[in-house]
Amino acid sequence: MRLDLAPEVLAVGPDGVGPSAATADVLYAVEALLRARFPRLLFALRHVDLPAGARRLVFALHPAGGPISLTVDEGGRATLQAPTHLAGPGYHRFLLLLARELVPVIGASWRPRAPRDLEARFLAWLQHLAREALTQHLEAQHLEALVDGPAPPAIRWLPPLSPEVGRFQGRGAVATLVGPRPEAWLQAVVADPRAGRDAFPWWERGQGAAWRVGRARCLLWRELRWRPPTTEEEVAALSEVANLLAEAWEEEPDRQDLPWAAWAEVLDLLGEAPERRARVAARVPPGPPEGYRRHLVVEDLPGGWSITLPGRMGVSWDPAEGWVAWDQGRTAWVTPLVGEAPEPDAQEGALLGTVEGPDRRARLLRLPPDEEGTVVCVLSGHVRAGEAVAAVTLAWQEDPAGRAWAEAAFRSLRRG
């Protein structure tokens, strides 16, 4: 087993699992075990064929954990690898237990154990990140003061504590998986890293109330769209948050750190009974609403591309159809390509204008009204980054704000 401090990675293997002919059977047996043992936790599971006869099972068990991969090579050697640095030592220990459960299924002789200083490793890594984040924050504040003078707290782009957190807007000095943190928090963590344990959604052993609250906070800050759900996946995410918080409150009725306002809003979006919502809403304290996706976010796309969009937009990715985002009469399609830029779609309509730059080109059209009289406008173009090209189409129902949204989104599309 190998453990790296930054990032903390659980890596078990390689170890023998028998003849290569059994590779697929082994991974499907592991999938069956995961579905049976962790039906509420398991998501994003897929099988991947690799070169030289190797196969990989990729899955996730926590929104802070990232992808877990179990790889079996042509010789039948198995390796389990998972980043655990953002989720916390409780998650790391959970995966060690999972590795032991996989031993009889895989036929390996793994004996994974956590180091005695596991918690200290997480705290040392956190303190290092907090020191860097504090330095950057103070430098940025100094520059802002020189240019504009002291500024009141406002919604702004937050530097992530670690790149995997993502790029979000909010109030504070740094973005974590479970919400932004102020400058005072960074100073406290630099002085004593134990003050920052709240940034890890799974610090403690087991899956008690603290685990439930931590998982719910990850979802409500980074995943929930804060509008009525439009897909089964969005309903499932809202329901999971509501159930986790209800279970945590039932387990620890005196717990004070529940996100009451966000929970009440989730119940409202789910259309829960007024009595249940009122019971939660009665405890809502004053303060800004939680959830990064109430503002602009930078969405990471396949191929190293990214685009800035309203966080409330739903997203999906299909290798055959490309990447899609949608919400309230607005839709964005982005397809990463390699080689020549595609020709614009041959659509009929009135030319509204063009957007051009050294690395991008697009035209805007007002399409003829449909049978119901609805007018749709389209921005269609491409962005180039070296040999890589991204084809993009942005569509909106006609209104001035829609055009501004489309042009801003197109200009934000970039690679790297």
User: 111 lies in a domain?
Assistant: no
Of residues 148 and 307, more confidence is placed in 307
Token digits of residue 281:
């809403």
- If asked whether residues 14 and 58 sit together in one domain, one would say yes
Identify the three-state secondary structure at position 5. Answer: strand
C-alpha dihedral (176, 177, 180, 185), degrees to nearest 10: -50
The CA-based angle 209-212-215, given to 5 degrees, is 150
Reported pTM: 0.89
Residue that is written with structure tokens 């489309």 in the block: 406
Give the count of domains, the chain.
4
Residue 366 lies in a domain: yes
Statement to judge: residues 195 and 213 lie in one domain:
no
Q: Is residue 308 part of a domain?
A: yes
Sign of the dihedral through C-alpha 256, 259, 261, 267: negative
pLDDT of residue 131: 96
Same domain, 335 and 408: yes
Domain CATH number, residue 42: 3.60.90
- For residue 396, being part of any structural domain is answered with yes
Q: Are residues 317 and 410 in the same domain?
A: yes
Same domain, 143 and 227: no
What pLDDT does residue 62 have? 97
Contact indicator for 193, 127 with CB cutoff of 8 Å: yes
CB atoms < 10 A from the CB of 50, how many? 12
Do 286 and 362 have their domain in common?
A: no
Residue 169 forms beta bridges with which residues?
157
| Whether the Cβ atoms of residue 8 and residue 92 lie closer than 8 Å to each other | yes
Among residues 262, 292, 322, which one ends one of the domains?
A: 292
First to last CA, the chain: 33
Are residues 284 and 308 located together in one domain of the fold? Answer: no
Residue 204 maps to a domain: no
In a domain, 69, yes or no: yes
Q: Does 285 share its domain with 226?
A: yes
Residues 6+ apart with CB under 8 A from 31: 45, 47, 57, 59
Q: From 181, 199, 217, give the residue that closes a domain.
A: 199
Domain final residue pick, 171, 199, 227: 199
pLDDT digits (tens, 9 = 90+) for 166-190: 999 999 999 999 999 999 999 999 9
Residue 113 falls inside a structural domain: no
Same domain, 249 and 177: no
Query: Could you give the CA distance from residue 348 to residue 326 in angstroms, rounded to a whole number?
Result: 23
Question: Domain residues for 231?
Answer: 209-292
Which has more confidence, 32 or 320? 32
Q: What is the pLDDT of residues 278-308, one digit of tens each?
A: 889 888 888 889 999 999 999 999 899 999 9
Can you give the CATH number for the domain in which 315 is found? 2.60.120.1690
Verify that 309 and 256 share a domain, yes or no: no
Tell whether the model's pLDDT for residue 345 goes beyond 50. Answer: yes
Q: What share of the chain has pLDDT > 70, as a percent?
A: 89
Q: Is 284 exposed, middle or buried, given 0-12, 13-18 or 19+ CB atoms closer than 10 A? A: middle
